Structure 1
Amino acid sequence: MVDLIFVAENPLSWHTANIERNPKHYSFLRYMGSKAATTVQNFGAAKIYFNTLVPVNNAVIKYGVVSRESFIEDLLDWNSLYVSGRLHKPVLVLQNYDDGDIKMALEQNLYSALHASLLLLPESFTEERLCHTLASLSYRGDFRMKFGEDRSKVSNIVKCQMEHFRSLYEPVIKRLDQWVDVDFLSGKAEQDVSPSAKLYHLNLLPKTLQMGMLEEWSCDGKCHDLEDILRAAAYDTECGDLVNAEIEKIVNQSSWSQSIKGVLTAGIFKSIKYSAMKVSKMMKSLNKT
């Protein structure tokens, strides 16, 4: 199934026109009108509305609608890692348009993904492992990865798209050559894992991730400064585990809210069919393993 994302300047107007043009794409919510669809879209962290199992030209697609504002916010801050996580992987842009804010947010999202991934990786690693880490960020903490998703999903994404990952991240890696060195000919990579390097990456993580770390360190009831927390984390031998835990929290929250929303946007029958397809794919993967 092909996944599509539409960024809409005005989701209410978008749903109004789409319900009129393609009413069968929607669940029972179409009878409640575009305001109801927009309200459901804004529910939860991801703020995206999906129509799934839609037949188009002898293919089956799933398409999501997100507002421009929510799209940019997730790219910059990782509020949900739902849309931003998809864009850590290579995608095909169907329509380019001159929007400086979106271009900047898309680029910043790649930098954030690289900073986070380097904090999760050891001093020496391979290019393939780097790509696997980048691709896996948005699946960490997703309850569906335990049951309902293909266990080889991330590996499958990476193996068939190594060249696309390289073209996407090579410019970003070269701009961070002070901290990481990737030999694209041999596929071997090394990075600076000193506290100063870790602090550099921590300072450039998205806001939601940083605030999660601050909240975790403030569980003792004391008031902590973000700068002090990040410095302490940089010297902590378990720095990568701390970052991973916060990523998992973000993804877990958005995966649950989006799954609940999916029952409304897809309807009961489509939800059951879609879930059955996922489970079937997971079982086939387990049998191969």
Structure 2
Amino acid sequence: MSRLRPLIRIPWSQRSLLHFNRRYATSESTQPAAASSQQSLPPDWEDEPPSLSDFTQLPHKDFGKNQLMETNEEFKRSLRGILRQFPPITYAFAYGSGVFPQSDATASRITHSPHPNPPEAILKWQKGGGKMIDFVLAARYSSHFHSLNLREHRDHYSFLGSLGSGAVSHVQKYGAGVYFNPYITVNGTMIKYAVVDMNILQRDLLDWDTMYLAGRLHKPVKILFEEPNIRVANQRNLLSAIRCSLLLLPETFTEKQLYSTITGLSYQGDPRMTYGSENPKKISNIVNHQLRNFRLLYHDLIMSLPNIEYVDGKSISHSDWMDDTELDLKLKQDLDIERRANMVRRLPKSFREKVYFQFQRKFAIPGREFKEMLEASKNEDEKGYTKPVGSHFDRRIVAEKDLPEQVTRAINQTVAWPAAVQSAKGVLTAGPYRALRYLQEKREKGRMKS
């Protein structure tokens, strides 16, 4: 009878280090840069659904580099060090005011840091004030992630953890399909992390099922762990955010109006905004304090679209214009019916259907006729993938004066219910004490005036 070798448990910090470094080296080998739109957005790139196995299969070597926001090296290493304490993940990003400031006064309002013993780099980056750092962790199979994570970090979970990974995964499915663990200390740093399945993340980016994750990526975030299909899907998500915002904006507008509209998409219908659980000036704070990052994120995409342009093209010819946050450049969109119809046709599938439904009710279109219209608007037919082009119905709805109001209703329908369920299930996922603490802190933010 052969002797069995003893099972040695290796901490995740060592076990996943090679896995982490191998994947990360592929995704961010160079600093992000504002590459020309011709390089980063080849013609017709978004007409094919993403199915990539490696970053070398991207449309161009600089494709999607606009998504990689800059932070200093020490802060980035500290964030990576936190992720090394978890089971292997496929995609991850850090977001929120703990990563990018949303107010000049943030540090002065906080009398003590929430971090028990953070790395010096985090204290320096947050300028001594201290803010909990938010993460989204995407795994191929989140049920397996929870199973492994419960073995290593049972204290991260509420009473649901005692029921096993099956119960945790079951609760995760409700709402937007995201499971949050708040007020967790890792490497001496207070964090909140969300766990999601990769397919849920990708589908929300492409279709806007809930806009819960897509909306977070409409704003500058620090991507720490990359995957090529998500990079492509997020590039489409960012373009969708511009197109949707253009349907809400007048013919001429400013940069800040555009970025505020984009930022506000995922807050439409969010109960936290409706019931005073967020700073009422949150959107303007985000845009005003991250204008340069918004430019890095969206400028190339703006330049790639045929129906939007800067009114003063000379301003963007200066090499350092993105650093000038005193500028608020004017833009202009083409209100041509054909182009706007094409824009509607290219909106994310689930969201586009909600917009169509608004006008079905307005025009009193019979159900069978409406169903046939949705079938005709699919991107696939028996011959394969087809290029989205505005239909007669698309042209009809963009000619309506109440288009912005109908689009806003579709946004509310997309965001409101998943956001409400996510907030409600916090009592289960975080536990009553942590859920109450989180709600109280959100209400404190809601009482802030700047």
Code of the residue aligned with 1:212 in structure 2: it is K
- Structure number with higher helix proportion: 1
CA contact (8 A) 2:279 2:447 kept: yes
Out of 334, 350, 367, the position equivalent to 1:208 is 350
Code of the residue aligned with 2:265 in structure 1: it is L
**Is the alpha carbon distance of 1:123 and 1:221 closer, same or farther for their aligned partners in structure 2, counting shifts above 3 Å?**
closer
Residue 248 in structure 1 maps to residue 421 in structure 2: no
- 1:269 maps to 433
Residues 63-99 of structure 1, C-alpha deviation per residue, up to 9 Å, x if partnerless? 1011111010000000000000000001101123xx4
Q: How many residues align?
A: 282
Residues 112-147 of structure 1, C-alpha deviation per residue, up to 9 Å, x if partnerless? 101001111111111111111111111011121022
Tell me how far 1:217 sits from its aligned partner. Answer: 3.1
Residue 91 in structure 1 maps to residue 221 in structure 2: yes
Aligned equivalents of 1:283, 1:256: Cα separation in 2:
20
Moved more, 119-128 or 178-187: 178-187
Structure-to-structure mapping, 1:1-289, within 5 angstroms: 1-44=132-175, 46-96=176-226, 99-147=227-275, 148-176=277-305, 178-182=306-310, 183=312, 184=316, 187-219=329-361, 220=364, 222=366, 223-224=369-370, 225-226=373-374, 227-285=391-449
**Is the alpha carbon distance of 1:136 and 1:214 closer, same or farther for their aligned partners in structure 2, counting shifts above 3 Å?**
same
Tell me how far 1:262 sits from its aligned partner. Answer: 1.3
Find runs of 4+ consecutive structure 1 residues off by over 6 angstroms: none
CA contact (8 A) 1:75 1:84 kept: yes
Code of the residue aligned with 1:37 in structure 2: it is V
Code of the residue aligned with 1:123 in structure 2: it is E
SS in 2 for 1:216: helix
Aligned equivalents of 1:171, 1:133: Cα separation in 2:
18
SS in 2 for 1:61: strand
Aligned equivalents of 2:247, 2:355: Cα separation in 1:
14
CA contact (8 A) 1:196 1:234 kept: no
Aligned equivalents of 2:230, 2:224: Cα separation in 1:
15
CA contact (8 A) 1:125 1:190 kept: yes
Residues 12-63 of structure 1, C-alpha deviation per residue, up to 9 Å, x if partnerless? 110011111111111111000011111111112x111111121234432111
Code of the residue aligned with 2:139 in structure 1: it is A
Instruction: Specify which structure has the bigger relative contact order, considering alpha-carbon pairs within 8 angstroms and separated by 6 or more residues.
Output: 1
Aligned equivalents of 1:242, 1:205: Cα separation in 2:
14
CA contact (8 A) 1:217 1:229 kept: no
Supply the RMSD in Å over aligned alpha carbons: 1.5
Tell me how far 1:221 sits from its aligned partner. Answer: 5.9
Aligned equivalents of 1:67, 1:196: Cα separation in 2:
38
CA contact (8 A) 2:280 2:448 kept: no
CA contact (8 A) 2:359 2:397 kept: no
CA contact (8 A) 1:79 1:208 kept: yes
CA contact (8 A) 1:75 1:109 kept: yes
Aligned equivalents of 1:174, 1:35: Cα separation in 2:
47
SS in 2 for 1:93: strand
Aligned equivalents of 2:155, 2:392: Cα separation in 1:
54
Code of the residue aligned with 1:266 in structure 2: it is A
Aligned equivalents of 2:358, 2:264: Cα separation in 1:
23
Residues 142-164 of structure 1, C-alpha deviation per residue, up to 9 Å, x if partnerless? 12102211111111111111111
Structure 2 gap ranges (5+): 1-131, 322-326, 375-390
Tell me how far 1:5 sits from its aligned partner. Answer: 0.5
Aligned equivalents of 2:428, 2:192: Cα separation in 1:
15
Code of the residue aligned with 1:115 in structure 2: it is R
Aligned equivalents of 1:21, 1:158: Cα separation in 2:
38
Larger Cα-atom Rg: 2
Tell me how far 1:252 sits from its aligned partner. Answer: 0.6
SS in 2 for 1:122: coil
Tell me how far 1:228 sits from its aligned partner. Answer: 4.2
Tell me how far 1:207 sits from its aligned partner. Answer: 0.8
CA contact (8 A) 2:259 2:294 kept: yes
Aligned equivalents of 1:198, 1:239: Cα separation in 2:
11
SS in 1 for 2:183: strand
Code of the residue aligned with 1:216 in structure 2: it is Q
CA contact (8 A) 1:51 1:265 kept: yes
Q: TM-score, normalised by structure 2?
A: 0.61
Code of the residue aligned with 1:138 in structure 2: it is S
